[in-house]
Amino acid sequence: MNIYAAFSLFALIILVYWIINELFTILFRFMGLPEERARFQVTSLLTGCGFTTRESEFFISSRSRRRLARMTMLFGYVFNITIVSSFINLFLSFQGQHAVDYLIGIMIPLASVGLIFAIIRTPSMRSWTDTFLSGLAGRFIKRKDCNTILLLDYIGQDTIAQITLREIPEEYKDVPLSKTNLKSQLNLLVMLIEHPGKKTEPITADTVFQIGDRLTMFGSYAAMRKAFHAEEDFNE
């Protein structure tokens, strides 16, 4: 196999990896994960590099995600061991220009698929895709009336997250913030609150939660989810 065929094979494998990565990223986004976190962890799973962060906890936070993560790891292992080696052995059996022609014949349809994914990642199409995936996730995964939580950042062992209230837990209905157990027992700090149709405002001791409020909170991610019965959101 000459140098041109070798470069063509290298480009083909990269293109196939990228397409597979995008497909599994979409699947994990459908499971409720933010795009960048999903893409990074999918790359780690497919390549078998074993790079893990605290974000990987979200991949095992539900049974469906664990199954998909397991399938991704197995697919990546099989792809690396069998498909890549088969590609190499197949093209080694070709002679000169035949190998290049065969590679080009495979790359054209793959490049078309790659172009579609590239178009989807443009700002306008990405916005539409986010809305579409959010709708599917909301229909098949989350109840429409449930509270949602969106992870914003990590600080030490705790997190900053945003909770959208679509229903208020009984223990917090018409109760001033100072009378709740969020700070005293759960060690959760409500930093900001955004009432529907109003600007974000600082929290006071007399703040009362309302339907539609968006809370910016600091503390244990698991404690936030449990306190507000919230399910994960992936709109970033």
**And the tokens for 196?**
């529907």
pLDDT for res 20: 86
pLDDT for res 1: 53
pLDDT for res 236: 46
Low-confidence ranges of the chain (pLDDT < 70): 1-6, 8, 32, 50-62, 90-107, 117, 120-121, 123-145, 233-236
Angle at 81 between CA 83 and CA 33, to 5 degrees: 85
How far is Cα 230 from Cα 146, in angstroms, rounded to an integer?
Answer: 7
Global pTM value:
0.55
Q: Which residues contact 137 (CB under 8 A, 6 or more apart)?
A: 29, 30, 31, 32, 234
**And the tokens for 108?**
């054209």
Instruction: Give the three-class secondary structure for 217.
Output: strand
pLDDT for res 219: 92
How far is Cα 25 from Cα 38, in angstroms, rounded to an integer?
Answer: 6
pLDDT for res 158: 85
pLDDT for res 91: 66
CA 156 → CA 7, 39, 145, 153, 186, distances in Å? 45, 23, 32, 10, 17
Q: Which residues of 207-226 are buried (b: 16+ CB within 10 A; e: fewer)?
A: bbbeeebbbbbbbbbebbbe
Instruction: Give the three-class secondary structure for 38.
Output: helix
Q: Which domains does the chain have, with CATH numbers?
A: 3-138 (no CATH), 147-232 (3.30.70.1450)
Sign for the CA dihedral angle at 111, 114, 116, 118 comes to negative
